[in-house]
Copies of this chain bind each other. A is one copy, B any other.
Amino acid sequence: MDPNNSTIIINAYILTMDEHLNAYPNGYVKITDGLIEAVGQDFQGSPEQYENLLDAKGGIVIPGMINCHTHAAMSLFRGLGDDEPDRLYRYIYPLEKEYVTPEFVRLGSELSCAEMLLSGTTFFADMYFFEEEVAMAAEQIGIRVLAGQTVMNRPLPDADHFEDGIKRAEEFCRGWKDSSLVEPCIAPHAPYSLERNQLIQIMEFSKEHQTDVQMHVAESEREEKFISQLGETSSVSYLNSLNLLNERLLASHCIRINEADIQLLEEHDCRVSHNPVANTKGAHGTCPLYELLEQKIIVGLGTDGPMSGNNLDLFRQMAVAAPLQKNLKGDRTLIDSKQILSLATLRGAEAIGKGGSTGSIETGKWADLVVFDSESVRHTPLHDPYSTVVYSLQASDVKDVFVSGKQVVENGILVNSDLNQITNKARQFISKWPNL
């Protein structure tokens, strides 16, 4: 019998993040067979009937957070080329060509999965090469992933040309369709790095295999120029002309979009990943998050790869997302912390197509939960728990994490993997490289 079959968490300040933002200051969550059985205020029964009891000691409990955009394996490149001008073409592509192997992807993903779980992320959307290595790393450590096998119209570390990449993606999506933690999908890199007919092929792939499509959309000035040279007005309208705008599309970045683009994204039920830390550092501009939210477009938060954002920390995304909009518009009242925590939880789950299963603490959903350390200096004092999570707490304030009711982080320590082993392997692996 599974030792984690039933668990009760008591004495918790529960932010359910459901549509009504129900919250229970002296709350409890009952977990049975990996699902949330009940959530409420003032537990009355006897905790002994549950196999596991967790006393949150007044700590805030939120749903497991969702990282809607990353390239997990790139943690092995973290800190390289922060300030390079033509970074993607002259720096990253050559690095990847040289160093990205299955082992690279495995070790980098293990490092990133560890960082994400330890910081309260229970589900991440990934785009990279050798995506089966990402999937295996995720399964081993116990984190969920929407794993996107990347395809591009250029030689890649795992495919010599586009058709090879499509074959890889097919194999990957077939091979992983029954995993409980891994949802496979396809990840066309961007509107500018694939041909028109290739993008159409992606759309057909998505329909045939019933997979999501993760793509970088409207990220850079370079992309804007390319699109305008095609005679198109914007990346979004170009994708629309190819029938790629639909409820399966998770469009990352969406920085350089206009009112008409926002309208198109809304009409076609597209979902957006907003990645404010990496976007700002990359000097790409500021995504019109306020306008996207006004149009009720589903937006989640993402870190982008750890070579762009330098860590995989959703707390940092939450802390800057509203301030960047406030500052841009000169209005400090815009977008409160409830709305921001929603982006990191329920809206994020919707953005990766899993709003029915996770993203909020509700009966029948997967028991994906994060418990904070009530004794942290940043948890003190507690006037507004939403503000505390969004603006004060940090990765290290995460104490316990559950995925499908199984505890995967216990008192700040990974349950299924040895962190020192993971970091040592990563260090040893890069020690063979020359100075980069």
Contacts and interface: CB of A to CB of B under 8 A. Distances in A.
B79 A324 contact: no
B392 A395 contact: no
Contact of A384 (B79, B322, B324): B79
Q: How many copies does the complex hold?
A: 2
A323 B383 contact: no
The secondary structure that dominates the A interface is helix
B283 A82 contact: no
Contacts of A77: 383
A327 B284 contact: yes
A78 to B, nearest CB: 6
Contacts of A436: 383
A118 B283 contact: no
Interface in A275-297: 277, 279-286
A121 to B, nearest CB: 13
B327 A381 contact: no
Contacts of A380: 75, 111, 423, 426-427
B310 A387 contact: yes
B382 A280 contact: no
A76 B281 contact: no
Interface in A320-343: 320, 322-324, 326-327, 329-337
B377 A283 contact: no
A322 B83 CA distance: 10
Nearest to A112: B377
Interface stretch (A192-200, A222-230, A311-319): A311-319
Interface string A343-380: 00000000000000000000000000000000111111
Nearest to A435: B383
Interface in A383-400: 383-384, 387-388, 391-392, 394-396
A419 interface: yes
> Max chain B CB contacts within 10 Å: which of A320, A332, A388, A420?
A332
A78 B427 contact: no
Given A323-B277, A332-B83, A332-B283, A78 B396 contact: no
Given A377-B111, A391-B310, A336 B82 contact: yes
A394 B392 contact: no
Nearest to A326: B283
Contacts of A260: none
A378 B331 CA distance: 34
A87 interface: yes
A339 to B, nearest CB: 10
Contact of A394 (B313, B323, B382, B388): B313
B316 A423 contact: no
Nearest to A412: B396
Top 8 A-B pairs ranked by shortest CB distance? Answer: A396-B396, A310-B391, A79-B387, A283-B332, A281-B323, A283-B326, A280-B323, A79-B384
Interface of A: 75-80, 82-85, 87, 111, 114-115, 118, 221, 277, 279-286, 306, 310-311, 313, 316, 319-320, 322-324, 326-327, 329-337, 375-384, 387-388, 391-392, 394-396, 419-420, 422-423, 426-427, 430, 436
